[in-house]
Structure 1
Amino acid sequence: MRATLIPYIPENSFPLVEYLIKKYAINLKIVNERQTKHGDFRTFANGKTQITVNNNLNKYQFLLTLVHEIAHHVTYKKFGRVQPHGKEWKTVFQHLMLPFLRPDIYPNHILPLLANHFKNPKASTDSDPKLALALKGNTAKTGKNFVFEIPEGAFFQYKKNTYKMGKRRRTRYECLNLKNKQVYLFNQNIEVSIVELT
């Protein structure tokens, strides 16, 4: 287990992760990147469960996503079918994540943002723009830009669709899909590709 997980998580978090995986008999699968989610928790007709986490996440994102999904597993085992990100899951997630909020696991500049996030954890860290940006190291992937870096009126591509950047609405941006002429709200830290339209 150590050889499999160490490349994906902060080294000092391994004993805690190993404890959770063994205690709750977690069936973990590390998978290729999915555009729509970082990880998921599934139940099967035979009663078995599985957690998947994307292999492209950095160590801090991976650890947070893994514990997020373990919280779904524990919530399901303890309470049965309840709201996916309801009060039961939030309480379990807070409890499971607390031991990981240490400076030898997460950098000092991320810890206050995590502490704030865990006052009322959201379904996705992407809906917490400051935390999501810090977890990404405040740097977009090569060849990409964060939505907030795109000038108003410029064009960008996201999931094979082209958009025109619009106005900012608090933490999200209005973006016009050029194909269907619908306006979509984008979180400021989504990574997109700038395109030049001729």
Structure 2
Amino acid sequence: MSKSPIPLGGLEWAVFVPAKAVPFLQFLIEKHNFTLKIVNQRATKHGDFRQLPDGSFQITVNNNLNKYQFLLTLVHEIAHHVTHQKFGRVQPHGKEWKAVFQHLMLPFLNPEIYPKEILPYLANYLKNPKASTDADVNLSLALKGNIAETGKSFIFEIPYGSLFIFKNVIYKRGNKRRTRFECLNMSNKKVYLFNQNVEIEVYDK
């Protein structure tokens, strides 16, 4: 996996976030001692924070995120770093991290940074932030502008009974159960529940 390092004092990362967010982000990056890297898309996470073997700290963020996703992910990871500095070893997404994340996000809850179509969902999510924004279906869809990646569709967009591919497995879309869809795995014939914001490929028979 190729990685493009972002120098700690530079502003190369600024093109990845809304312009009005740059000054406060620059303050956070300069205040806290870590290396920021922008990396290729990872299927299982948008970003991460870790302490390297030499004792230094590193934050990575995926390069395929739009500006609103990138900003939220970067602050999410900075919150892990600040939590580590303040509290040492605690639950990764426990009460300490939640409080730090909420505090760090406050300056960005601004209509000049996040559009009005996103702000209500973001504010609601921050009342009790989860480990992943993808777990909040409404926020996830709003951050993406209700537009799936090129060549993909959201599962709620395909008709009942349609076949689709998810992680190289073929499924059949079934009934909606409250907020999720029942989908039949065509290989093992087991039914799995999919969130509405899951992006899939339509199976072309």
TM-score (structure 2 length as normaliser): 0.91
Pairs within 5 Å for 1:28-107: 28-107=36-115
Please state how far the C-alpha of 1:128 moved relative to its aligned partner: 0.8
Supply the RMSD in Å over aligned alpha carbons.
Answer: 1.3
Q: Look up the SS of the partner of 2:127 in the other structure.
A: coil
Please state how far the C-alpha of 1:165 moved relative to its aligned partner: 1.1
Cα distance in 2 for partners of 1:76, 1:139 equals: 35
Cα distance in 2 for partners of 1:183, 1:80 equals: 41
Q: Letter of the aligned partner of 1:158 in structure 2?
A: F
Q: Look up the SS of the partner of 2:156 in the other structure.
A: helix
User: Alignment partner for residue 187 of structure 1, among 175, 190, 195?
Assistant: 195
Aligned to 2:30: 22
Pairs within 5 Å for 1:146-161: 146-161=154-169
Aligned to 2:6: none
Give structure 1 stretches of 5+ with no counterpart: none
Cα distance in 1 for partners of 2:34, 2:193 equals: 36
Aligned to 2:151: 143
Q: Look up the SS of the partner of 1:141 in the other structure.
A: coil
Cα distance in 2 for partners of 1:131, 1:120 equals: 13
Q: Letter of the aligned partner of 2:52 in structure 1?
A: F
Q: Letter of the aligned partner of 2:201 in structure 1?
A: S
Give structure 2 stretches of 5+ with no counterpart: 1-9
Aligned to 1:174: 182
> Is residue 123 of structure 2 the alignment partner of residue 122 of structure 1?
no
Give yes or no for contact 1:85–1:122 (8 Å, CA) kept in 2: yes
Matched residues, number: 196
TM-score (structure 1 length as normaliser): 0.94
Give yes or no for contact 2:46–2:73 (8 Å, CA) kept in 1: yes
Give runs of ≥4 in structure 1 deviating > 3 Å.
Answer: none
Please state how far the C-alpha of 1:94 moved relative to its aligned partner: 0.0
Identity %: 65
Cα distance in 2 for partners of 1:109, 1:38 equals: 22
Q: Look up the SS of the partner of 1:165 in the other structure.
A: strand
Give yes or no for contact 2:34–2:56 (8 Å, CA) kept in 1: no
Cα distance in 2 for partners of 1:35, 1:177 equals: 20
Over residues 11-49 of structure 1, what are the superposed CA-to-partner deviations in whole Å (9 max), with x where a residue is unaligned? 110011111111111211100011111111112233222
Q: Letter of the aligned partner of 1:133 in structure 2?
A: L
Give yes or no for contact 2:182–2:192 (8 Å, CA) kept in 1: yes
